[in-house]
Amino acid sequence: MSHPGVHLSYDGPIARIELDRPDTKNACTRGMWVAIAESAREIAVSGSRLLILSGANNEFCAGADLVGDPGIDAFRHEHGLMSMRAIGDSVMSVHQLPIPVMAAVDGVAVGAGFGLALAADLLYCTERSRFSMIFAKRGLSLDYGTSYLLPQRVGLHHAKWLAFTGEVIGATEADRLGFVNEVVPDGALDDKVGEVAEAIVSGPPLALSMTKRLLDNAANSTLAQSTEAESLAQNVNFSTDDTRDAMAAFAEKRTPEFKGR
Please write the tens of the pLDDT for every residue from 163-205: 999 999 999 999 999 999 999 999 999 999 999 999 999 999 9
Q: Which CATH architecture is the domain 6-201 placed in?
A: Alpha-Beta Complex (3.90)
pLDDT mean across residues, the chain: 92
The answer to whether the beta carbons of residues 91 and 144 sit under 8 Å apart is yes
pLDDT at residue 85 above 90?
no
The answer to whether the beta carbons of residues 103 and 123 sit under 8 Å apart is yes
Identity of the amino acid at 225: Q
What's the full length of the chain, in residues? Answer: 261
Domain boundaries, the chain: 6-201, 205-252
pLDDT at residue 1 above 80?
no
Give the pLDDT band (50/70/90) at residue 97.
very high
Helices (H) and strands (E) in the chain — how many of each? Answer: 11, 9
Backbone angles phi, psi at 2, to 5 degrees: -90, 160
The answer to whether the beta carbons of residues 115 and 157 sit under 8 Å apart is no
Q: Which run of H or of E encompasses 219?
A: none
Return the pLDDT at 68.
63
User: pTM higher than 0.85, yes or no?
Assistant: yes
Give the pLDDT band (50/70/90) at residue 240.
very high
The answer to whether the beta carbons of residues 25 and 58 sit under 8 Å apart is no
Alpha-carbon gap, residue 255 to 259, rounded angstroms: 13
Return the pLDDT at 77.
54
Higher pLDDT, 198 or 66: 198
Share of the chain above pLDDT 70, in %: 95
| pLDDT one-digit tens code per residue, 98-110 | 999 999 999 999 9
Alpha-carbon gap, residue 236 to 195, rounded angstroms: 29
Return the pLDDT at 80.
72
Return the pLDDT at 149.
95
Mean per-residue pLDDT for 30-50? 95
